[in-house]
Structure 1
Amino acid sequence: MNIHDPAAELRANVAVPFDRAQAMPTSVYTSPEFAALEQEHIFATSWLCAGRVDALKAPGDYLTMEIAGEPVLVLRDREGQLRAMSNVCRHRMSVLLEGRGNARVITCPYHAWTYSLDGSLRGAPAMELNQSFCKEQNGLPPIRCVDWNGWIMVTLNPDLPDPAEQLAEVDDLVGYLDMSHYVEVFREEHRWNTNWKILAENFMESYHLPMCHGGTIGGAVDLKKMTCPEGREHFNYHHILKDDSIALSIAHKDNTDLQGEDRLRTWLMAIYPSLLITLTPGYFWYLCLTPDGPGHVKILYGGGLHPDFAADPDREAHFATLKGLLDHVNDEDRGCTERVWRGMQGRLARPGALSHLERPNYEFARWISQRMPG
């Protein structure tokens, strides 16, 4: 094995059974070459989440994202259809729109070429003397985009099965909660000084809760009562039962559809590669991760309410309490994951043995390794 080949190191790392598993090699996190392979073989070929569908309510509402360096525009067209397309002008290749907003037409900020919300070219000033120019051939290339249970899912891969097929087992587990009807209340963007996989792994295991979250939720956690089920091909998960110490953690008092432990169950689902969802009978929150080099990750952080609580007259007070807690927990996670990144820079940094509570990390490592060339 070439010790300078992170992909080969990872293959060797995951070749052992889980009961002998080690954390991923440091090179898998720190190597710029491996980060480039991830962009090509993972992010450019997978379904990625751009947030919630209800972030784009009205015709002309749009948001932007990047997939493996490709600028992407997602919008609601005039007929109410969800669309994604290239966010690069067909003239001199300027990025067209940035951030979020609403637009009646898409106008290039460089030379004012304009596009309709379906991506077709509407106008191109002063092009009438160029005999090679054809307006009909200069629309914005479409990109695959679907609504999966209320999530905007986008991919550059023309051959990937739809999320409804690829993630059917998610519906088998949590379909009774019907994510599509949850109402987004907040959406924020952050950038942390850590590798994206460190943050993804942090979400996947609850082994860190007693220590990392000692100031918030850690005191209610009993490691001896935790289990981590074996994950599925395209995601891993675990779940916990909560009490009514946070009003939104359990089903609404007027909800008669949920019975027994389903009224108390919180699901934590990691949809590979980078959509992380906490789903309860009362609320949800999520992270969508975009690598920004080996040492930074861009984070879309959002959340909202089950329809029962969205219609409750006390919803604002309930959610204000919850949002304060979520922000505090998020700050604790930032501290923990950024410390891991700093530790990995040390010459003596070595991966250690995994706990039985870190099975999802092992499965995530295997999923990544299977997608690497060689």
Structure 2
Amino acid sequence: MNAPTLTLQNDDRPFRTDPQRSFTLPARFYHDPMIYEAEKPAIFYRSWHYAGHVSQVAEPGQYLTTKIHEQNVFVARGRDGVLRAFYNVCAHRGHELLEGTGKRNVITCPYHAWAFDFDGRLVSARNSENVAGFDKCDFSLKPVRVELFCGLVMINLDPDAKPFSEEFDGLEAEIRAYLPSVDTLAYAQRDTYDVAANWKVLVDNFLECYHCQNAHRDFVDLVDMGSYRTITHKRYSAQCAAAPRTTTSNAFSFTPGEVDFGYAGFFVWPNITIWIYPGEPNLSVLQMNPAGPERCVEHQDWFTPGGAVTAQLKDAIAYQKDVLQPEDIGLCESVQRGLKSRGYNQGRFIVDQGLTELSEHAVHHFQTMVAEALGAEFDE
């Protein structure tokens, strides 16, 4: 892939492998429709995607649906107890089979009533017995890879992709260190945000706390920024703070939980972020779903013990929904507008020797993965 938008242009400064010497990706990577289309097969159709939580598909017949751009997929628990995923499209004329989440005895297409079992087999097609040479085995649903990770249902459209556990080796151990009771969690709620920004702007923003002192004063009151560090790995990064500054911060109040820490956040390539707040056990997934070159729909799913939201967890969720997310969305939408300015093309990463809480090395790590996936030119 070597489209003109992915090659160096006259006014581009070098994007380098060394973050301390590198400029950021050119602005066109955040609004050019050609790059947006190139990302679909190069990034999203070959990467692991968060689909939901195992508690939503715990019983035979339970299902959930998700989309990766135009690709609609459902995950369901079979009668044999096996979790499977399929493209959410009828093998007859292409109608979508399922919507949202729920439970069925059989999967029946709303269009012509073709029926499929949860193992993907076509079990009924009206009037097909009168069609010469019709073989139900020719019309099974097309499978999609599915794996479980700390209770999260992960899918991948690429049948040859590396297993999630191999691609993100070490991530599960880190999450369990902060949240030993992760297996007791269940789905609690979803919050959705429609953001006028490219998905990569939101990821860039998540990956640094250089902006936190200016833009997230309540977060800084919660977290000990002196211990806040971001560590990059092959396909993910972790940003964690050792201990909370106080249990009664401006963000929310809490009682110390099973592990005493201030905050743990993880970025999982390409567009998944995992959050663990201090206090009672909790985990949330915030996924940046591209909806256009300059639009993104974020879903944040929350998981709590048994799916219950206590008063303490309600306060933490309210802080995320009513304070931190609006702060970040305002920043990202302003950046998106600025990326279209004729006065801007690239910035410079702020990366210090100690990789402190002010360092943007994780942003460079992410942008490098984007450039590599797209086959874009950059300086060694």
TM-score normalised by structure 2 residue count: 0.86
Check whether the contact 2:63–2:75 (CA below 8 A) recurs between aligned residues: yes
- What is the Cα deviation at residue 265 of structure 1? 4.2
SS of equivalent residue, structure 2 residue 141: coil
Check whether the contact 1:151–1:180 (CA below 8 A) recurs between aligned residues: no
1:26 corresponds in structure 2 to 27
For residues 215-254 of structure 1, what are the structure 2 equivalents within 5 Å? Answer: 216-219=218-221, 225=226, 228-240=229-241, 241-242=243-244, 243-245=246-248, 246-248=252-254, 250-251=256-257
1:351 corresponds in structure 2 to 346
Q: Distance in 1 between matches of 2:110 and 2:142?
A: 19
1:372 corresponds in structure 2 to 374
| CA deviations over 1:119-159 (Å, ceiling 9, x no partner) | 11111112223213211221101110011111111001112
Aligned residues: 357
| CA deviations over 1:269-309 (Å, ceiling 9, x no partner) | 101001101124532222122211211112221113357xx
Deviates more, 1:267-276 or 1:176-185: 176-185
SS of equivalent residue, structure 2 residue 155: strand
Q: Do the aligned partners of residues 175 and 278 (structure 1) sit closer, same or farther apart at CA in structure 2, a change above 3 Å counting?
A: same
- What is the Cα deviation at residue 7 of structure 1? 5.4
The question of 1:289 aligning with 2:283 is answered: no
1:273 corresponds in structure 2 to 270
The question of 1:316 aligning with 2:313 is answered: no
2:363 corresponds in structure 1 to 361
Q: Do the aligned partners of residues 91 and 24 (structure 1) sit closer, same or farther apart at CA in structure 2, a change above 3 Å counting?
A: same
Structure 1 residue runs of 5 or longer lacking an equivalent are none
Q: Distance in 1 between matches of 2:141 and 2:338?
A: 44
Q: Identify the match of residue 193 of structure 1 among 185, 192, 196.
A: 196
Q: Distance in 2 between matches of 1:204 and 1:15?
A: 18
Q: Distance in 1 between matches of 2:84 and 2:8?
A: 39
Q: Do the aligned partners of residues 183 and 45 (structure 1) sit closer, same or farther apart at CA in structure 2, a change above 3 Å counting?
A: same
Check whether the contact 2:149–2:172 (CA below 8 A) recurs between aligned residues: no
Check whether the contact 2:265–2:273 (CA below 8 A) recurs between aligned residues: yes
Q: Which amino acid aligns with 1:368?
A: V
Q: Distance in 2 between matches of 1:47 and 1:3?
A: 25
Q: Distance in 2 between matches of 1:90 and 1:99?
A: 20
Q: Distance in 2 between matches of 1:361 and 1:367?
A: 10
**Which runs of at least 4 in structure 1 moved beyond 6 Å after TM superposition?**
none
- What is the Cα deviation at residue 250 of structure 1? 3.5
SS of equivalent residue, structure 1 residue 144: strand
1:340 corresponds in structure 2 to 335
SS of equivalent residue, structure 1 residue 191: strand
Q: Percent identity?
A: 27
1:48 corresponds in structure 2 to 49
Deviates more, 1:60-69 or 1:40-49: 60-69
TM-score normalised by structure 1 residue count: 0.87
SS of equivalent residue, structure 1 residue 371: helix
1:100 corresponds in structure 2 to 101
Deviates more, 1:232-241 or 1:339-348: 339-348
| CA deviations over 1:44-78 (Å, ceiling 9, x no partner) | 11111112222223322222122242211112222
For residues 42-191 of structure 1, what are the structure 2 equivalents within 5 Å? Answer: 42-176=43-177, 177-178=179-180, 179-191=182-194
| CA deviations over 1:220-261 (Å, ceiling 9, x no partner) | 5676x365444111101211132322454742xxx4xx4xxx
1:302 corresponds in structure 2 to 301
SS of equivalent residue, structure 1 residue 55: helix
| CA deviations over 1:12-33 (Å, ceiling 9, x no partner) | 7432521123232111111111
2:355 corresponds in structure 1 to none
